[in-house]
Amino acid sequence: MTRTKTKILLDDGDPQETQRIRRLVGFLDGQTTNPSLIAKNPEVKKLVASEHGLSVREQMAEYRKIVEVISPLVGDAGVSIEVFAEENTTAEEMLDQAREMFTWIPNAFIKYPCTREGLRAAEQSVGSDIRVNMTLCFSQAQAAAVYAATNGAKVPVYVSPFVGRLDDIGENGVDLVANVKRMYAAGDGHVAVLAASIRTIEQLLYCFSIDTDLVTVPAKVLDDWARNSFPMPDGNFKYTATGKPMLYQELAVAWAGKTVHTAVWKEPVRGRRMARRLNIDGDGQGDLAGHGGEHRAVFVYQIDSYRYWQSELRRNDFTHGQFGENFTVDGLSDQEVCIGDRYRIGSALFEVTQPRVTCEPTLRPLLSEGRGRTFG
């Protein structure tokens, strides 16, 4: 088979499979693992089923043994090892595991979730030259946050958009891979896109067709690919989308010789929008370490403040959404609204959680050179 520009990794937790697939395909650039894949490893299954079971320490020891065998079998894309993390796991707890895991093998990449805490852990990791693979990426905003959190990294960084799982919820998962690639194209290349959660040969071929940096593939899909004599996408290749398109969001802005990721400029929309725990559909945040999250999911700004800035700056070209707000409201002045107040809009209930926080480093320069001129 012809080598593609896209590096091929195996998504599996069993070294026997690494050997088998390497023979089948002829090479493996790397491998990704995660706790669920490790739990499916035949040896681990036996141990878990035994009377004794496995303590947390023993699980770590088994995980280590497995990646030690895989490590020399794969190429320079390395072996991704995932920290054990739940909803409340802190960056510090992830880092403790990461520091240990990174010493297990010479080609380790540490997998952190694309969450606020995962991003904090990644930022500190790259600062100490720990390679990271930011997993569970479901949106372009998360990929932008990975870029921002790992800026200046001297070691390789991966971001893993989850294609199959997006398909599972009715989105066209491969669009995210293409969108992130497009967004990063204006950047300095410090983050590589690793397409993950691949379920079909079609998805694999799509990743090849757009020269995705890396793709991690379950053995079953690679078996199918081999059985079909390793087809490659040609000029006529057309991907059959299964879900609704994921539209490209303009989050990358060139500023002062750097690429800044921001979703600060909003456009007014008509009709209903779904409000979720972390966001309103169609919105995003470029810097998730500073913005977004449950307590900053929605940003409100008053028309009165627009009037103030119009007169202060002698301008009349502001459009709603100019200040990065999700809701431009008439009334609801800062004097009358209190933290804890609740407002119902349609069937969604919103709670006031904190005052506005001006994003000095991003807003001032962006607004001064972009759509606006200043923001106090």
Q: Least distance in Å: CB of 349 to ligand E4P?
A: 32
Residue 35 as a binder of ligand E4P (CB under 6 A): the answer is no
Residue 14 as a binder of ligand E4P (CB under 6 A): the answer is no
For residue 308, what are the contacts with CB-CB under 8 A and spacing of at least 6? Answer: none
181 is catalytic: no
Long-range contacts of 41-45 (CB under 8 A, 24+ apart): 41/13, 41/14, 41/66, 42/14, 42/16, 44/13
Give the span between the Cα atoms of 145 and 165, in whole angstroms. Answer: 20
Residue 142 as a binder of ligand E4P (CB under 6 A): the answer is no
Give the span between the Cα atoms of 177 and 206, in whole angstroms. Answer: 10
Closest CA to 287 of 102, 151, 166, 192: 151
Residue 126 as a binder of ligand E4P (CB under 6 A): the answer is no
Closest CA to 144 of 288, 45, 277: 288
Tell me which of 32, 97, 125, 322 binds ligand E4P, using CB under 6 A.
32
Residue 365 as a binder of ligand E4P (CB under 6 A): the answer is no
Tell me which of 6, 34, 302, 322 binds ligand E4P, using CB under 6 A.
34
Catalytic residue among 111, 154, 181, 266: 111
Q: What is the DSSP string of 240-259?
A: ---SB-------EEEETTEE
Q: Least distance in Å: CB of 193 to ligand E4P?
A: 12
Residue ranges in 49-108 that form contacts with ligand E4P under rule CB under 6 A: 80
Note whether 251 and 349 are within 8 A (CB). no
Residue 135 as a binder of ligand E4P (CB under 6 A): the answer is yes
By CB atoms closer than 10 A (0-12, 13-18, 19+), residue 324 is: buried
Residue 202 as a binder of ligand E4P (CB under 6 A): the answer is no
The smaller minimum CB distance to ligand E4P, of residues 212 and 285, is found at 212
Residue ranges in 178-197 that form contacts with ligand E4P under rule CB under 6 A: 196-197
Binding residues for ligand E4P (CB under 6 A): 11, 32, 34, 80, 135, 160, 162, 164-165, 196-197, 216
Active site (catalytic) residues: 111
